Each structure stands twice: as structure tokens, then as C-alpha cells.
Chains A and B, each alone.
Chain A
Amino acid sequence: MTETEVPRLEEAAILQFPAGLPGFPGMRRFALQQLVEDSAFQLLESVDGDGVSMVVTRPWLFFPDYAPEIQDEDQDELRLVRPEDAVVFCPVSIDREAGNIYINLRGPLVVNATTREGRQVVLEEDLPLRAVIEVDTY
């Protein structure tokens, strides 16, 4: 799966995560929107009224060689037939004390672009939960 094969989801798409997210199993419906127009970052916001949101990004913008191997069970459950059906986001977090921005490469969110269903997968490969990324502000 490469960046060029990743389809775009239109803005403010509603995504379903039937299993919820680890630690937040009750949250199943999220709206995905750009932070600002043409941003490298998106906001995934629960629409079930619990005020939960997280910032996500396309990992290939920062790690062009990222090659997550999606397990058969996850592919089947998400009904991913072709690699280009899958959209991959990684959670972004900030350590304000250290001044670092991290993305979670070990637990990407994989979404079927057609069904809008996703799940957070846990990769077998020993990838960092906190990979530091560098940004420029404009």
C-alpha cells in the first residue's frame, strides 16, 4: 500500500468504528474533517455527544516507507478487497512538556473508503507508538 494508492475521503465524512477504539469501546461514530483547508491533519470527532476527538494524519506524509501489514482478519472484517480501498490514518498526540509531536505508527486507523467502516488495528510489526514528527508552521 502506498500513498498514491490511498483514496481521499471527502471532508466531514462520518466513519463507523463498530468495535470502538481501544480504551474507548463505546465510541463508534466519528466525523472526519480537515483541521483547515488542505491541512496535513484531520480531526476525528465522536458524534455521539461525548466530546471525544483526536487529531489524525496520513502517515506517509512523514514516513514515506511506512508499510503497515494489515492482518487477514482485519481485511476481511473491513471487507477490504483492493489495497486502494483502504485509507490509513495515524493518531497524533502532543507532549507539551517535551515539545514533541508524535504519531502512532503501531496502531493505525484503517478505514474502508467505500463502506466508511474502520477499525484501529494493532500491527504485529514492532513499530513505534510514538514516532516524533517535525512540522513547519505557516
Chain B
Amino acid sequence: MLVLTRRTGQSIMIGNDVKVTVLEIRNDQVRIGVDAPRRVQVHRQEIYEQIARENAAAIREARSTTETLRRARPRQDPPER
């Protein structure tokens, strides 16, 4: 891993079109700004990995999901008595 020291307001470039800027440092939190082309999706790592895990689960279970839901529709609210 490349390790660089930067101060508040300083940036690094990743390739030609992604700029990462340190905006603010407070205690153990860093605010980071990312300038990237629209096609580059920028996510917090934890949520990206959660979405990837859910995709993996959906893909792994696609066959049984298909079988289970082949004849299924959203449950209707039970009629009031």
C-alpha cells in the first residue's frame, strides 16, 4: 500500500481524473472529498461490501428464489372482520 502524508486542504490524484482531498481532521475523524468522473462510483467500503454480500446471496440463491416465487404474489392485507 502506498502511504502518503497530507495536510488539511491537500489532495492526492489517483490516475488522471480522481482527486481525493483531506477537508478536515478532527480527533480520529477525517473528512474526505472525492472528485471523480460520474462513471466512477464512490462508496464507503463497509456499505459497498454489504451490498456485494447481498448480491452474492441473491445470486447464490437465485435458483431456489425462482422456484419459491414462481407462483407468488405480494401478500394482500387480510380482510377486516
**Residues in chain A within 8 A of chain B (CB atoms):** 18-19, 21-24, 35-36, 39-41, 43, 52-55, 61-62, 73, 76-77, 91-94, 96, 101, 104, 106-107, 119-120, 122, 129-130, 133-138
- Are B74's CB and A40's CB within 8 A? yes
CB pair A133–B74 under 8 Å, yes or no, is: yes
Question: Which interface residue of B52, B55, B75 has the most chain A CB atoms within 10 A?
Answer: B55
Find out whether the CB atom of B59 lies under 8 angstroms from the CB atom of A36.
no
* Contact of B71 (CB < 8 Å), options: A36, A52, A129: A36
User: Is B61 interfacial (CB-CB < 8 Å)?
Assistant: yes
Number of interface residues of B (CB under 8 A): 31
Contact (A54, B58) CB under 8 Å given A77-B39, A122-B47, A122-B51: yes
Q: Is the CB of B59 within 8 A of A53?
A: yes
**Chain B 50-71 interface residues, beta-carbon cutoff 8 Å to A:** 50-59, 61-62, 64-66, 68-71
Flag if A134 contacts B54 (CB, 8 Å).
no
Majority SS at the chain B contact face: helix
- Residue pairs across A and B with CB atoms within 8 Å: the count is 117
Interface residues of chain B, those whose CB is within 8 Å of chain A, are 38-39, 41, 43, 47-59, 61-62, 64-66, 68-76
Chain B residues with CB under 8 Å of A122's CB are 41, 43, 47-48, 51
Other 10 A-B pairs with CB < 8 A, given A55-B65, A129-B51: A23-B52, A39-B70, A54-B65, A61-B74, A122-B41, A134-B74, A135-B69, A135-B72, A137-B71, A138-B71
Please indicate the chain B residues that have their CB under 8 angstroms from the CB of A120 in the complex.
Answer: 51, 55
Q: Do A129 and B50 touch across chains, with their CB atoms under 8 A apart?
A: yes
Are B38 and A136 within 8 A (Cβ)? Answer: no
